[in-house]
Amino acid sequence: MARSRHKSKWLAQAQALSQGLSIHAAANKLDVAPSTAFRWRHRFLALAQDAKAGSLTGIVEADETFVLRSSKGQRRIGRQPRRRGGKSSTRGTGDDHVPVLVVRDRSGASTDFILGRSDKAQLTAALTPVLAPDVVLCTDGSSALAAAARHLGLTHQALNMSSGLRVRGPWHIQNVNAYHGRLKEWMRRFHGVATSYLASYLGWFRALERSRSTCTKPACLLALALSHGARP
């Protein structure tokens, strides 16, 4: 009986994911405890982490964005706690931030990688399995991305963003930067995402982006989750 009651809430759970509701808002919508809403969310999102493009072709844009490191939900974090959704204690892209590499081709196929460091070795390891050898890689001129492109033998078009050069003919990173903007705006509603769950939230956002162009109904998210064996 309990399982049957849970099953009747699966579509509502998919709607909560589609709407990007907070845990407490989802709990109210589903009429369950916040702990249950949290557990259901992450069961649905567990396999979304791996639902990303396996190969990118043609003109490919790559750029990093940086997400504030968060120990949200952990009891011992080794530093003074920040206010909910607070700011880094350091400026720029230091240890308080987690680098996320987003890579998109002009067809809209996307993938992303959480990096330990934004350096040649980690960027090369991330890019190697997903880029066809004949792609043209567009970046913002990052020295680490340029080094990774050279190592992989890719045609590389670097934009000198610091001088205001954002577009040079067909070469730009406008698509990936727009994706960064939508991701950051969407994540603001959560007032800080725990770094330990960042991969799940990136997968969640990718699923929403895909459903935007293919199917806008929450049932699509439900079908994706159930096809991978997720159960509340």
What number of H helices and E strands is found in the chain? Answer: 9, 7
- Does 140 share its domain with 189? yes
Domain of residue 118, residue span: 59-75+84-193
Judge whether 121 lies within some domain: yes
pLDDT at res. 226: 47
Q: In angstroms, what CA-CA distances link 139 with 16, 55, 93, 193?
A: 35, 18, 18, 27
Q: What is the CATH number of the domain that holds 106?
A: 3.30.420
Q: Give yes or no for a contact between 183 and 201, defined as CB atoms under 8 angstroms apart.
A: no
pLDDT at res. 87: 55
Q: Give yes or no for a contact between 53 and 110, defined as CB atoms under 8 angstroms apart.
A: yes
Q: Could you state, in chain order, the average pLDDT of each consecutive group of 10 residues for the chain (232 residues)?
A: 58 80 89 89 78 91 94 56 51 78 94 94 97 95 95 94 82 95 92 90 86 60 50 44
Judge whether 201 lies within some domain: no
Compute how many other C-beta atoms are within 10 angstroms of the C-beta atom of residue 54: 9
pLDDT at res. 207: 81
- Does 185 share its domain with 218? no
pLDDT at res. 219: 56
Judge whether 53 lies within some domain: no
- Does 90 share its domain with 166? yes
Q: Which string of b and e fits 135-162 if b means at least 16 CB within 10 Å? A: bbbbbbbbebbbbbbeebebebbbbeee
- Does 221 share its domain with 115? no
Judge whether 35 lies within some domain: yes
- Does 118 share its domain with 219? no
- Does 167 share its domain with 107? yes
- Does 133 share its domain with 176? yes
This prediction has a pTM of 0.79
Write the burial class of residue 61 (CB in 10 Å: 0-12 exposed, 13-18 middle, 19+ buried): buried
Coil/strand/helix, residue 15: helix
Judge whether 52 lies within some domain: no
- Does 89 share its domain with 160? yes
- Does 65 share its domain with 180? yes
pLDDT at res. 217: 57
Count structural domains, the chain.
2
- Does 167 share its domain with 100? yes
pLDDT at res. 18: 79
Which residues are paired to 131 by β-bridges? 56
H helices of 92-188, where?
Answer: 120-127, 143-152, 174-187
- Does 154 share its domain with 117? yes
